[in-house]
Amino acid sequence: MINFEELTFHLDLNKKIYVAYSGGSDSSALLYLLHQNNINNFEAIHINHNLSKNAFQWQSHCEQICESLKVKLHVESIEITPEGDGLESAARKARYDIFSKYLNFNEQILLGHHSNDVAETFLLRLFRGTGVDGLDGLAVKRKVGEGYLVRPLIKFSKDQILNYLKSNNIKYINDESNFELEQDRNYIRNTIIPAIENRWNKASSRIAKTSGFVKDRNSSYEYLFNIKFQSLISNKIEVNELKKLDEVFIIDILRMSLKNLGIAMPSKKIIDEIIKTFIKSNPGPKSEVSWTRADNDQPGGHICYRDKSIVISKK
């Protein structure tokens, strides 16, 4: 059963709420949960990606459902141009750009991600060789534009969502692209996780819990690390002070500094290049390292040497 109080724990019910409504099972559950619990100040946004032959049928479904519930629906039609990380990443960026357009100060847009999605994301990042920061899963709440993106179903399982839909006789659409195995996430969802759960019951739930443990440990570590090295976490750091430290601490000082500046985290290869250029060598005025993020979700970074310090800036 989906507890409504737990669902709304991270929401400000006095601010405008939007539901990112695809018509699928997860977003349909969100839409009906808000409607059934008499949340009046919410609207829905449907984004037509124009990728499926059924795209306009799905749009029509969303329009009909919102009309029947008397929920205001905004429809956005987009064309996806894959770049860098591919179609999925390009579609995600396009969606977030639309969310930012709608959100005024402290308003919220809700996504239907659940605990199974957390498990998929954990495995996807694990297989791609992410750092520990990337294993703490999907954020329940994060800034987007002037407002917030919130995932209120994140602690609930897919089975709980489907049971809610079934018990309330709620109709939803099935996106056939969710079963196309060319996409890494779909392969994990439809092939790897079922194989794991044949051996270990409720493996997705356990993976999601592990992701939560990682998130808690990351938060504690970051808090204590910032206290100990607060004088070095900056956009300008004296190289001689860094050289006094073990390499593992130097790397985390760089990572914390980049995070505070909103700059994309570099790959391990770039991190190694930074260490070699500024720490293991004698840097000079021409010493510099730059990087970008393939999906352009965050600005790239640039590090140079000035006044006996490394200077970090957005690229």
φ, ψ at 299 (rounded to 5°): -65, 150
pLDDT, residue 9, reads 85
Confidence of residue 89 (pLDDT cuts 50, 70, 90): confident
pLDDT, residue 178, reads 65
Helix (H, G, I), strand (E, B) or coil at 183: coil
Domain locations in the chain?
A: 4-205, 230-314
Confidence of residue 92 (pLDDT cuts 50, 70, 90): confident
Spatial distance between the Cα atoms of 221 and 229, rounded to a whole number of angstroms: 12
Does pLDDT of 306 surpass 80? yes
Confidence of residue 38 (pLDDT cuts 50, 70, 90): confident
Does pLDDT of 81 surpass 80? no
pLDDT one-digit tens code per residue, 8-36: 888 998 899 999 999 999 999 999 999 99
> In what order do the strands lie in the sheet containing 17-20?
73-77, 42-48, 17-20, 108-110, 147-150, 141-144
pLDDT one-digit tens code per residue, 253-266: 999 999 999 998 89
pLDDT, residue 85, reads 61
Chain centre distance of CA 51: 22
Spatial distance between the Cα atoms of 185 and 163, rounded to a whole number of angstroms: 23
Residue 77 CA neighbour count, 13 Å, CB half = 7
Residues in a beta bridge with 290: 302
Output the six-digit token pair for 200: 């270990």
Residues in a beta bridge with 303: 289, 312
Output the six-digit token pair for 288: 């510099």
Helix (H, G, I), strand (E, B) or coil at 314: strand
- CATH of range 4-205; options 3.40.50.920, 3.20.20.70, 2.40.30.10, 3.40.50.620: 3.40.50.620
Mean pLDDT of 116-144: 89
Nearest 10 degrees: CA dihedral of 81, 86, 91, 96? -110
pLDDT, residue 255, reads 94
pLDDT, residue 3, reads 75
E strand segments, 182-300: 236-238, 288-291
Place of tokens 């352009």: 296
Q: CA angle, 86 as apex, 269 and 173 as ends, to 5°?
A: 135
- CATH of range 230-314; options 1.10.357, 3.30.465, 3.40.50, 2.60.98: 3.30.465
Confidence of residue 137 (pLDDT cuts 50, 70, 90): confident
